[in-house]
Amino acid sequence: MSETYIAKSSAIAARLIGGEMMVMSAVDSTFFTLNEIATLIWQSADGQTSLSEIIDHRICQYFDVTREQAERDADEFVKELSQHGVLLVSDHPIGNSSGAETGAA
């Protein structure tokens, strides 16, 4: 089974507000409010860390969730955001992720 790598698209606007990540696609103006686990996946989407590594080392270690449930939920989350051009998905590391997240207040 091949690995999945994710990176943030440069065609987005994102901001952390009150502990929730708000993300909007510049492609189709779709707006997402991410929960705590989705925010962790989003923040970990560096293009170099595999999704399975994010699940094992960042989700399952800190949240009361089984590996199987975390994997199903993460796969669904990544699929939805990639369909809107918010996340880039590859079966190999993605070089020079632009990290288009805007953090300035």
Note the pLDDT tens digit of each residue in 4-38. Answer: 999 999 999 999 998 889 999 988 999 999 999 99
Check pLDDT > 70 for residue 104: no
Q: Which domains does the chain have, with CATH numbers?
A: 5-90 (3.90.930.60)
Number of neighbouring beta carbons within 10 Å of residue 100:
16
Residue 72 belongs to what H/E stretch? helix 67-83
pTM (predicted TM-score) = 0.84
Average model confidence (pLDDT) for the chain? 89
**Residue 19: C-alpha distances to residues 38, 39, 40, 65 (Å):** 12, 9, 11, 20
* pLDDT attached to residue 71: 96
* Residue 70 banded pLDDT, cuts 50, 70, 90: very high
